[in-house]
Structure 1
Amino acid sequence: MKNLIYKTKIIKDTPMKKITLVLAFIGMIGLTSCVREEVVVQDTYDQDTISEVWEYTNVDFYPNNYSLFLDFPHTIYSSDMVLVYRLAGGSSAGDIWKLLPETYYFDDGTLDFGYNNDFTQYDVKINLYGYDLAGLSNAYKLDQIFRVVVIPAAFGKSANKVDVNDYQAVIQAYGIDESKIQKIKM
């Protein structure tokens, strides 16, 4: 048999091949060192889904423009829903809270007076409007009590199922503990 001689051809490493090998090596090290560590923090206090109620007492409407601002104890989210109720009286069953806007009419059906409101993240503005506010009984202008109910946006869909005109239904639906209502004297 013939002796086969294999000729080995030695290819010299060029600088470009060395750079390519070094970059490939660095890439492999970089990919293998990518470790992703996830840290899960559990917040047991869910701040965006807690309904709150603030009660403002001794609220007086003065002849300057018959409107006033009730400042919130803290800023609320811009997506929150705000309901304002006025203490309109009491009965053996408890207090009677009326949702604003609240309107009163003369016997002939024309507007006598009413309350309306608008709100921001920082406060609610309540207006007393009507025909003859100067002649209106002080029982409707002085020493009024209002409750501001803040309902987080997370409850938005369920808000359609609650009769917001019924203060007690709102309190019950959103699990508000009336003993924890923050009272603010004006």
Structure 2
Amino acid sequence: MKRILSVITVVAFFLTSCTGPEGPAGYDGQDGVYLVGQSFETTIDFTSTNGYQESVEVPLDIDLYESDMVLVYHLRGQIDGYDVWKALPETIYVNATEEFQYNFEHNFDFVTIFIESHPTFDFNILTDDERINQTFRVVVLPIDLVNSSRIDINNYNDVIQYVK
């Protein structure tokens, strides 16, 4: 009987001390809270009338806290039926000597998306394809999620997997 008990103890020890391969990396919550980002899209026109900028109200159903990270991505087109998004700020080269940027700033209520360049930039050289019907996706990520994950915020596909 002692021998059977000893064998069971040894087998139980080996079974409980075995480990398998480590699972895929996840991200830490905070006190059991599931951290997820939120997003919304907007399409705007940049004109001389609006000073080549547009302020967009953050929807009321999106919780934006002081510590959250706000990112903006510009829809650049499609490749093989998939949207191509570029992180702002985004520099566009008009010709060999001229360039401008799509950029943004935000507060708790609004995200302002604008075109900026050097003080002598001639906005008249912008084409309608660069000014009209420009679609942007605004992404709000909790800073705890950003700090606890290996998110490349410049890679839209990496970021969007954490957005509901």
Q: Tell me, yes or no, whether TM beats 0.5.
A: yes
| Pair 1:69 & 2:55 matched | yes
| Pair 1:140 & 2:130 matched | yes
- The alpha carbon displacement at 1:69 in A equals 0.4
- The alpha carbon displacement at 1:123 in A equals 1.2
* Alignment of structure 1 residues 1-186 onto 2, 5 Å: 49-57=35-43, 59-64=44-49, 65-74=51-60, 76-92=64-80, 94-108=82-96, 110-130=97-117, 131-158=121-148, 161-172=150-161, 174=162, 176-177=163-164
Deviations 1:55-91 (A, max 9, x none): 112x111103111101101251111100000101111
Question: Structure 2 CA distance, aligned partners of 1:107 and 1:132?
Answer: 12
- The alpha carbon displacement at 1:93 in A equals 5.5
The alignment partner of 2:125 has SS state of coil
- Shift of the 119–171 alpha-carbon distance from structure 1 to 2, 3 Å rule, reads same
Unaligned runs of 5+ in 2: 1-31
TM, length-normalised to structure 2: 0.69
Deviations 1:17-38 (A, max 9, x none): xxxxxxxxxxxxxxxxxxxxxx
Asked if the contact 1:49/1:153 (under 8 Å) is kept, the reply is no
TM, length-normalised to structure 1: 0.62
The alignment partner of 1:88 has SS state of strand
How many pairs were matched up? 127
- The alpha carbon displacement at 1:106 in A equals 4.6
Between structure 1 and structure 2, the one with the greater Rg is 1
Unaligned runs of 5+ in 1: 1-44, 178-186
Question: Structure 1 CA distance, aligned partners of 2:66 and 2:139?
Answer: 14
Asked if the contact 2:52/2:114 (under 8 Å) is kept, the reply is yes
